């Protein structure tokens, strides 16, 4: 009985040490968030903007989708609120042109990033072929290359996509061609694809998945698990929003199990109605390993914790066996 109690106590202490070690390590977070019709009207709601600032400030880079800012006022408001909310960092953004087949409904991809730690080293708007036979995308990808010196990977490319629900299978498959072009153009294997893929429920039938090269290609790693709900409404449970990493090098640079939705409704104790004012999607996120903490330091800390535990266990064992 005494030995069992000792083992349980040691397990608890070891867990505490592991958590403390994890908290000391600052990883680099990339997020993707469908803002659900973000424009001038939403930017005037103080409570919404406050919550958006809290959400976006958690991430080193955030891809925003469904940005409808035709007057070019909503994003400046967001950036002002964000920089006033998080004074520890400086935030900048880079945005695509307005995209969409209909003149009455167009969106932008916007990347918000911490400019004190991240820099943009390239950008590429995938061509609009609406007049040709290759018109696959409703909103062509706006590809951006980032340099992040504090990560193990150092530099990488992000390919965003908000697929059209009516054409999800074809658009996801065509993203593979975009990926190959980017790899050739920038001579890099370190590419991440992310966004609201509509890759679940009625928009991507299981029988069609074998037709999507983005799914069948072995060098691509889908990080958000199936059957994880990325939607706010209780009446839906779909894994629409995804993060996909290309290549083993990039995959090894990802913090294990860090890819997941961020349930801001639960985190900030909002009602469903309040959460839906912000978006009907949760942002999805993934962390990259940081190079700020040398591996040797981590090993020394582990050895120190182990020696402390051994000494403590010896003391407790003597007490229990008296």
Instruction: Tell me the C-alpha distance between 95 and 113, whole Å.
Output: 11
Respond yes or no: is residue 246 known to be catalytic.
Answer: no
Instruction: Tell me the C-alpha distance between 57 and 61, whole Å.
Output: 9
pLDDT score, position 228: 94
Taking residue 269's Cβ as centre, other Cβ atoms within 10 Å add up to 8
- Given pLDDT bands bounded at 50, 70 and 90, which one contains residue 318? low
Average pLDDT over residues 54-70: 96
Q: Which of 221, 239, 220 is nearest to 229 (CA)?
A: 239
pLDDT score, position 100: 84
**What sign results for the dihedral spanned by CA atoms 222, 283, 72, 165?**
positive
pLDDT score, position 131: 53
Q: DSSP label at 90?
A: -
Neighbouring C-alpha atoms within 13 Å toward the C-beta of 271: 2
CATH architecture type of domain 27-292? 4-Layer Sandwich (3.60)
Helix (H, G, I), strand (E, B) or coil at 226: coil
Helix axes 46-56, 74-85, angle to 10 degrees: 60
pLDDT score, position 295: 45
The residue extents of the domains of the chain are 1-25+296-322, 27-292
pLDDT tens sequence across 106-137: 999 999 999 999 999 999 999 876 555 568 99
SS3 readout for 286-303 = EEECECCCCHHHHHHHHH
pLDDT tens sequence across 166-205: 899 999 999 999 999 999 999 999 999 999 999 888 888 8
Two structure tokens written together for 162: 């908000």
Angle (CA) 199 65 162, round 5°: 30
If phi over 0 gives left and psi between -120 and 50 gives alpha, with beta otherwise, what is residue 306?
A: alpha
Q: Using the CB atoms, write b or e for 223-239: b if 16+ within 10 Å.
A: bbeeebbbbbeeeeebb
Helices (H), 86-132: none
Residue 322 has pLDDT above 70, yes or no: no
Residue from 107, 140, 171, 246 carrying the catalytic annotation: 107
27 phi and psi, to 5 degrees? -95, 165
295 exposure class (CB count in 10 Å sphere: 0-12, 13-18, 19+): exposed
Q: Is the pTM of this model over 0.85?
A: no
Q: DSSP label at 129?
A: -
pLDDT tens sequence across 256-296: 999 999 999 999 999 999 999 999 999 999 999 998 644 43
Q: Which of 233, 235, 215 is nearest to 224 (CA)?
A: 215
Percent of the chain topping pLDDT 70: 81
pLDDT score, position 1: 44
Respond yes or no: is residue 162 known to be catalytic.
Answer: yes
Residue from 162, 171, 246, 281 carrying the catalytic annotation: 162
């Amino acid at each position: 009985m005494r030995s069992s109690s000792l083992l349980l106590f040691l397990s608890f202490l070891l867990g505490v040490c592991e958590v403390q070690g994890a908290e000391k390590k600052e990883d680099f977070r990339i997020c993707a968030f469908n803002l659900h019709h973000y424009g001038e009207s939403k930017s005037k709601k103080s409570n919404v903007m406050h919550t958006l600032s809290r959400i976006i400030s958690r991430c080193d880079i955030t891809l925003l989708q469904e940005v409808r800012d035709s007057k070019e006022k909503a994003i400046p408001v967001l950036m002002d609120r964000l920089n006033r909310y998080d004074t520890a960092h400086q935030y900048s953004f880079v945005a695509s042109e307005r995209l969409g087949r209909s003149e009455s409904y167009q969106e932008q991809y916007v990347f918000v990033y911490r400019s004190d730690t991240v820099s943009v080293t390239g950008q590429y708007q995938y061509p609009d072929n609406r007049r040709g036979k290759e018109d696959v995308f409703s909103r062509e990808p706006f590809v951006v290359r980032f340099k992040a010196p504090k990560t193990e990977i150092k530099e990488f490319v992000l390919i965003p996509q908000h697929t059209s629900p009516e054409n999800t299978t074809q658009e996801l498959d065509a993203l593979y061609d975009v990926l190959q072009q980017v790899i050739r153009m920038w001579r890099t294997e370190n590419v991440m694809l992310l966004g609201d893929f509509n890759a679940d429920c009625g928009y991507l039938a299981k029988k069609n998945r074998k037709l999507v090269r983005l799914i069948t290609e072995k060098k691509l790693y889908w990080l958000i698990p199936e059957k994880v709900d990325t939607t706010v409404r209780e009446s839906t449970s779909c894994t629409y929003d995804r993060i996909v990493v290309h290549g083993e090098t990039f995959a090894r640079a990802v913090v294990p199990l860090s890819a997941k939705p961020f349930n801001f409704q639960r985190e900030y104790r909002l009602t469903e109605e309040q959460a839906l004012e912000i978006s009907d999607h949760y942002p999805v996120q993934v962390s990259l390993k940081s190079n700020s903490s040398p591996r040797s330091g981590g090993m020394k800390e582990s050895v120190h914790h182990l020696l402390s535990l051994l000494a403590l266990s010896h003391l407790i064992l003597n007490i229990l066996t008296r």
